Amino acid sequence: MAEEVGGDGCGWMPNVVDFQDFLPVMAEKLGGENFMAELCNGFRLLADEAAGAITFGSLKKNAAFLGLQNMTDDELSAMIKEGDFDGDGQLNEREFCILMVRMSPTMMAEAEEWLDQALAEELNDVIGEDQSERFPFLRV
């Protein structure tokens, strides 16, 4: 799997794998259910067991493991805030998984395409196929 994300297209891979390039390949190889299970495993590796969430402290403790050892406390806090949808100052499993997908431009583009298609199909169902002739931009 790793050689598929090589920077030169020939299988060469730099010492550090860019998460944004690697995540879509991982998702494709594992399939949806297994991919989500791996994200959840990643969450458990980073989470504070007592809190059941990724806290500032657990992220700071694992920063070197993630290659983030040079990040400041403010930068680490900003990472938590980026994914903290409920405002509790930490990342639960759902927030972590959403954040990981959001960090991948490729996966976000695919999600946007799926959403566009689903909305167009729903709109066709609502207005009917006969009306879609009047509005060709709404066709799926």
To the nearest 10 degrees (0 to 180), the angle between helices 73-83 and 93-102 is: 100
Lowest mean pLDDT among 1-10, 38-47, 76-85, 124-133: 1-10
Percent of the chain with pLDDT over 70: 69
C-alpha to C-alpha distances, 79 to 37, 72, 103, nearest whole angstrom = 22, 11, 11
The mean of the pLDDT values for the chain is 75
98, 83 Cβ separation under 8 angstroms: yes
* pTM beyond cutoff 0.75: no
DSSP string, 50-72: TTTBB-HHHHHHTTTTTT-TT--
User: DSSP label at 48?
Assistant: B
* Res 81 pLDDT > 90: yes
DSSP string, 84-116: -SS-SSSB-HHHHHHHHHHT-HHHHHHHHHHHH
So what's the pLDDT on residue 138? 55
φ/ψ (deg, to 5) at 91: -110, 120
